[in-house]
Structure 1
Amino acid sequence: MRIRTAVPIAAVAAIAALALSGCVDNSSPTSGSTPSSAAVKKDDTLAGQLPQKIKDSGKLVVGMDDTYPPNEFKDDNGQPVGWEVELTNAIAQKLGLKADFAIAKFDNIIPSITGGKDDIGMSSFTDTTEREQQVDFVNYYSAGILWASAKGKSIDPDNACGLKVAVQSTTYEDTDEVPAKSKKCTDAGKPAIQALRYDNQDDATNAVILGKADALSADSPVTLYAISKSSGKLQEAGKTFDQAPYGIPLQKNSKLTPVIQKTVQALIDDGTYKKILDKWGVADGAATTAEVNAASKG
């Protein structure tokens, strides 16, 4: 899950790495096609509930770190794309607003929200009780951890002692999940898991394809997308585990929170949300209800 203490290098570097390796193509699944959010119409009732400041501005300022395909990343023109980008545009359109993406380092987004610079965030935030002390979350997706290995290579995430596992630096997989598995190995007198840390997900994926790593560990939609873009070179290793909610962060007790919650729920109910997830191949984590602060509800 996307719980970070630092930030990867710019997506431009990731694109350059791809050009050199030729291993993974993280382009949009239907490049040049009409976004699934294009037909979303304004809901006057929901728009009427917006705080006056946002109504007057005509825009929704959205903090985003666009380095996490397929959720949010840059296209060849440097513009943000991904299923969360499309979902954000749909939310804005439902409210009669234009989404204004404030691209920033991941760690700067919540401070920008609490400080009033950004209205919301959309960057694969895992809703945690710790984060809920700073912001409120409107939950819209459930992501877990999913490993991938080279095609034909059998890897068990629960029995990975002595293996090399590629992770994106400072993600939950790097800071918590793989170290915990490695400790279980060493406590049992077995070889540790060697975490190979990369600044961006593309390099972690390519490490497995090139044989530098035995497996990779990432959020389930990220892993599934990497597999889909690997030209058959990668496969799932085990099943998704440790499910947790993604959430849109907003200022604590903001009048905007119930509006965003109702808007996300409206997109779920009218089918727009499902169309977006299906387009990007990430429907396994689809939500049926847009909750608020799901982490604290257990």
Structure 2
Amino acid sequence: MVLAVATGCVSNTEATVPPGDPIRAEKVDEIAAQLPESIAASGQIKVGSNPPYAPNEFKDDDGNIVGYAVELLNAIGDVLGVTMNISESDFDRIIPAVQSGTFDMGSSSFTDTKEREKSVDFVTYFSAGVQWAQRVGDDVDPNNACGLRVAVQTTTTEDIDEIPAKSEACVAAGKPPIDKVKYDSQDEATNALILGRVDALSADSPVTAYAIERSEGRLEPAGEVFDAAPYGFVVAKDSPLGPVLQQAVQELIDSGVYAQIAERWGMEDGMIDTAQINAAPS
């Protein structure tokens, strides 16, 4: 992350991409043969993604979408013998675009939840929790944040589920609600905390850890990681692409390529042993 010292802001750039070449995989014909006919014929899978949400997906200095999930996607493409055609989209438009067929799949750090499973299917590839951050020296308790201003990226799990539930509990206890401050990107939420515009931020644990690591000592964790749940690649409900992706992810796990990619991006803590379809705990 390049730090603009004059303003105290941060932005994700090529400098945050690990050195060395991306990890690639070999094609597995028996899995590739199961691809839907239209995808096999086109030789590509159309993917919707929403950067910046480093280290999972963000842009380098040349405007390319990169990150841990992107490298994993490209390795899946290797297994299937197709190109992953990744396009930028607003986060809240990706699932509708997958449902309509504009995208074949979505990859944007989607938490697999029972509510979302009503609309789409998920192929799991990682386990992440929720982690809050604060400015160094502050004393923020995520379980007692009534009346605080908390930054979130819009339409994330933290925006839709976590902060509203905590705020409702505050009101029920006769305390002031949490002032949820929504930002279009995680960069903006992080910058707001650094600049003192909010008291804390809430994001998925690898994203918060990444922001803290690149804040030059200005941010630190607030509380422990909680509510672990799987990330999943999104496909249309009952799409034949889902089982193919699940097999491709499992192939990467079994071959060791998955672990190599996770290690390259510092994402070992959330590694899984088995890729599943629709594994939401709640």
| TM superposition score normalised by structure 1 | 0.85
Which residue identity does 2:157 align to in structure 1?
A: Y
CA contact (8 A) 2:106 2:233 kept: yes
Which residue in 1 is equivalent to 2:109?
Answer: 124
Q: Does 2:269 match 1:274?
A: no
For residues 181-235 of structure 1, what are the alpha-carbon distances to aligned partners after superposition, in whole Å with 9 as ceiling and x for unaligned?
2332233233333223322211211222222322111111110110111112111
Q: Does 2:51 match 1:66?
A: yes
Which residue in 2 is equivalent to 1:37?
Answer: 23
* CA-CA distance at 1:29 after TM superposition: 6.0
* CA-CA distance at 1:246 after TM superposition: 1.4
CA distance in 1, matches of 2:211, 2:61: 18
Which deviates further from its counterpart, 86-95 or 17-26?
17-26
Q: Does 2:96 match 1:111?
A: yes
The count of corresponding residues between Structure 1 and Structure 2 is 282
Gaps of 5+ in 1: 1-14
Q: Does 2:208 match 1:223?
A: yes
Which residue identity does 1:165 align to in structure 2?
A: V
Gaps of 5+ in 2: none
CA distance in 2, matches of 1:211, 1:169: 19
Percent identity between the two aligned chains: 53
Match of 2:142, SS state, is coil
* CA-CA distance at 1:264 after TM superposition: 0.1
Match of 1:24, SS state, is strand
Which residue in 1 is equivalent to 2:231?
Answer: 246
Q: Relative to structure 1, is the Cα distance of residues 54 and 154 closer, same or farther in structure 2, using a 3 angstrom cutoff?
A: same
Which residue identity does 1:193 align to in structure 2?
A: I
Which residue in 1 is equivalent to 2:181?
Answer: 196
Q: Determine which of 93, 105, 113 is the counterpart of 2:78.
A: 93
Q: Determine which of 141, 166, 171 is the counterpart of 2:156.
A: 171
Match of 2:114, SS state, is coil
Which residue in 1 is equivalent to 2:32?
Answer: 47
Which residue identity does 1:115 align to in structure 2?
A: S
| TM superposition score normalised by structure 2 | 0.89
Q: Relative to structure 1, is the Cα distance of residues 215 and 106 closer, same or farther in structure 2, using a 3 angstrom cutoff?
A: closer
1:3-14, aligned counterparts within 5 Å? none
CA distance in 2, matches of 1:280, 1:32: 7
Match of 2:71, SS state, is helix
Q: Relative to structure 1, is the Cα distance of residues 212 and 34 closer, same or farther in structure 2, using a 3 angstrom cutoff?
A: same
CA distance in 1, matches of 2:174, 2:238: 49
* CA-CA distance at 1:147 after TM superposition: 0.2
For residues 8-56 of structure 1, what are the alpha-carbon distances to aligned partners after superposition, in whole Å with 9 as ceiling and x for unaligned?
xxxxxxx999697343242356547334333x12122222222232222
